[in-house]
Amino acid sequence: MIFFTAVLSAINIALGFIFKSIIVKFVFYFALFFIATESIDYLTNANILPNGNSLSSVLSSLSPTIWWGLDLVAFDVVFPMILGAYVTRMILTMIPVIGPKG
């Protein structure tokens, strides 16, 4: 009988952890992801953010010397990483539990 209550207690603790912590965090972060992706799509469609064609025309106007320098520092790899890091930092600082205190 004692073994049964110990197993039942362990299952109760595990289920409590799963439903109180993991599922709530999944729903919260999915909502953050959905809001971020849909807001970017909306801002791009509203012509507030540049689309691929305008960026392509701006980048095609750069001189070969500038392109050489950008290729030297692997700009095509580094720029998306830096941009993603800044966006992630902005999103994380907006979350009241994780963001800066004070």
Residue 19 in any domain: the answer is yes
Note down the domain range covering 80: 2-94
Residue 101 in any domain: the answer is no
Q: For the chain, what is the domain count?
A: 1
Residue 100 in any domain: the answer is no
- pLDDT in the model for residue 98: 60
Q: pLDDT band for 72, please (50, 70, 90 cuts).
A: very high
DSSP H or E segment with residue 10? helix 2-17
Is 67 strand, coil or helix? helix
User: Does the reported pTM lie above 0.85?
Assistant: no
DSSP H or E segment with residue 8? helix 2-17
Residue 102 in any domain: the answer is no
Whether residue 89 has pLDDT greater than 80? yes
% of residues, the chain, pLDDT over 90: 8
Residue 99 in any domain: the answer is no
- pLDDT in the model for residue 100: 61
pLDDT in tens, 4-17: 888 888 888 888 88
Residue 78 in any domain: the answer is yes
- pLDDT in the model for residue 68: 92
pLDDT in tens, 33-67: 888 888 888 888 888 877 777 777 888 888 999 98
User: 């439903």: which residue's tokens?
Assistant: 19
